[in-house]
Amino acid sequence: MKFKIHKNLISLSIITCFIFSSCAPSYAINLKFWKKNDKQKQEQNTDNNVKEYNSSNETPNEDEILPDSNIESAEQIDSDSVNQDEDDLVYVKSFEVLGNNLIDASFIKGIVSSKEGHIYDRKAVTKDLNNLYATGYFTQNIRAVPIKLDDGNMRLRIVVEENPPVTGFTIEGNNSVPTADILSILEPLEGKPQNIIELNLAIDRIQELYTSRGYILARVSDMTDDPDGIINLKISEGTIGDIKVIGNNKTKDFIVKRNILSSTGEVYNENVMRTDIMRLMGTQAFRDVQRDIVMNENTGLYDITIELEEQRTGKISLGVGVDSSSGFFGSVGFGENNFRGLGQKINLNLMAGTGILMNDNSILRRANWQAELSFLEPHFKKENQSLGFRAFYRNFGSYQVPLAIEKRYGGDVTLARVFEKYPRLTGSVSLGVEDVNISEGDYGEISNLFRAHGLSMSQRAKQLEGGFYLRAIPAIVFDTRDNPTNPRHGVVARVSLEEALGVSSDAETYGKLEGVVRKFIPAGKKSSFVVTARGGGMLNGNVPEFAMFSMGGPYSVRGFNISEVGMGEGYMMGSIEYRTPIPFIDRLTTNTFINNIRLAAFVDGGKVFSQSLTDKLYDRPGYAITAGAGIRIFIPGLGPINLDYGYPLTNTKGSRSNGFFTFGMGDLF
């Protein structure tokens, strides 16, 4: 996305005159003792580069130097003494400074090049006077007094006149940045002679302070001094006068404006506007969003224009793909991300798959059917609050209950809200109903397993428990990631509670708690580490086998098939992953899609508690540590596609000795 800003923001006059070849400051300064009457400038003497000045307090023009007439002597010394023979050279025997009250003599002596023991040179002394004047602490009444001594050498006396001292500061117009923060920049100047150079540098730092906090239009618009040495600063912070929206032909105006938190009468903040633009882009209704800023010369306020480029939001999709849980699959879908121009989203997806890819003998080989209809109102009743509805149907070979067919249908409604005082914190609650039907898929094979392990088939009925449930799932998410697509630093954490109330006679009520936290740590300029901790456990009731926590697969411990590590009433696991771009790829292409591809190396480990009956049937270890590598391909609007190869590091009976490939879509955890 592009950001444009007009440059006719504030025109600040330059009234500073110095001996530099160019005047860097760009502020309107109204300090009496620095004013100059242009009519009093004298013509330059091109023969000897010397100018004559009267005794007024004029300030030399920036290309002028102090005159040789400011070099006085008690006993005249031949001006050509430096050209005499070596035996006749005059040396500076002693050096003293007079007239300084606030500026330490060591500071002055450090600038003057004519040191004790050096040959006296009038031209060098003249240059020293100009260098002192260039510090900004002194008036033009600086002079050098060479005093001849009895031994033929001399004492060099530098007489200075300091500018009036700064006794304090007043700040006006700062509503967005505290006065104390501004004074912390100015306070080092207090108690010193007024210095236009240091004042302008301080003004630069004040404006940098504003810019660092997003107030890019803020300027120090005026500065004056009082006779008592008080410096008065007036700040124009850049107030918004009007906000206009153009380019939205389908999307309603109020839909656009509710995504813009910036408002008229407020001080413009680039960070807030950037968030507004990202929020508008997040609606997926626009191809591009730009903003234009122009100062209204009549009001002195800034008019903001939001320029939108809409895109087609309705789409019909046909696709084929592969992942670990659905196998090879085909899908058809319809989606509309700007339904009726109100920013609402509606989606219908149908999918048919071959079943669990590279499944082990615990998962029934059969087709996978799924259908889902969803609707989202991103601004329900108030800002930062959304409401979503969902209905679904699934029919697949269960990867929780061995050799069983699992059918589910139901629906839910989810209300989510971002906390106003804590914008990084989002709370949600989901209420829904679900019917879960678990049926036998291969009675002969499962009965053989029970007999081989000396178990009674009466326990099979416990595995096949399902029923009709009412569900309530409150959750809270804390997210400080710098980029939700490809983050390099920040934290994301989620805690959820699921309470399932069994309504039918065959359904048992249960509750479980689960949490995950991920830390993104930058490594070098483009790489990062991702550290993850995750865990969950049963809170109440008896969790049926289809709802137990499972470990193994692309979204858990990689290097194992889905649930192959084990299932149980609780678990804990951790992971560390290193992500880096393809080496030197940015030197070969500027394509964003290719540059966002990441190579990954990882180590996963975890343990299951209170293991299930299925783990006994298949001798699953219940714990695992794996290491491996993979690739992350980030698809806009979809998220990452993950291909990983993991190798078990623990001596587990149920593990694959040569490792295992896993495919996944979306975040691994």
523 and 440 in one domain?
A: yes
251 and 123 in one domain?
A: no
Domains identified in the chain, total number: 3
> Alpha-carbon Rg of the chain, whole angstroms?
39
The answer to pTM > 0.85 is no
Predicted local confidence at residue 320, as pLDDT: 65
Structure token digits, residue 476: 């809270």
Predicted local confidence at residue 26, as pLDDT: 32
398 and 287 in one domain?
A: no
Predicted local confidence at residue 93, as pLDDT: 81
Domain assignment of residue 455, yes or no: yes
CATH of the domain at 641: 2.40.160.50
301 and 380 in one domain?
A: no
Q: Nearest CA to 133 among 99, 97, 108, 106? A: 108
Strand-pairing partners, residue 549, are 568
Last residue of a domain, one of 159, 176, 204: 159
Amino acid in the structure at residue 387: L
379 and 260 in one domain?
A: no
379 and 292 in one domain?
A: no
300 and 325 in one domain?
A: no
Predicted local confidence at residue 313, as pLDDT: 67
414 and 304 in one domain?
A: no
- Residue 108 and residue 115: Cα distance in Å, rounded? 11
Amino acid in the structure at residue 437: N
Q: What are phi and psi of 8, to 5 degrees?
A: -90, 55
How many CB atoms neighbour CB 55 within 10 A? 6
- How far is residue 331 CA from its own chain's centroid? 36
- Which positions of the chain have pLDDT values less than 70? 1-88, 313-314, 317, 319-329, 354-360, 636-639, 651-657, 667-669
372 and 280 in one domain?
A: no
482 and 381 in one domain?
A: yes
Helix pair angle (179-186, 196-212), 10° resolution = 150
Structure token digits, residue 434: 């679900």
- Residue 641 and residue 593: Cα distance in Å, rounded? 13
What range does the domain containing 296 cover?
240-310
Domain assignment of residue 193, yes or no: no
Predicted local confidence at residue 46, as pLDDT: 29
CATH of the domain at 67: 3.10.20.310
Q: What are phi and psi of 503, to 5 degrees?
A: -95, -45
Last residue of a domain, one of 259, 276, 310: 310
Residue 46 makes CB contacts below 8 A (sequence gap 6+) with none
The answer to whether 567 and 400 are in contact (CB under 8 A) is yes
- Residue 197 and residue 189: Cα distance in Å, rounded? 11
Residue with tokens 């990867």: 399
Q: Which residues of 66-91 are buried (b: 16+ CB within 10 A; e: fewer)?
A: bbbebbeeeeebeeebeeeeeeeebe
Domain assignment of residue 233, yes or no: no
Q: Nearest CA to 144 among 89, 184, 178, 99? A: 99
Domain assignment of residue 259, yes or no: yes
Burial of 31 from C-beta contacts in 10 A (0-12 / 13-18 / 19+):
middle
For strand 230-236 and strand 168-172, is the pairing parallel, antiparallel, or unpaired? Answer: parallel
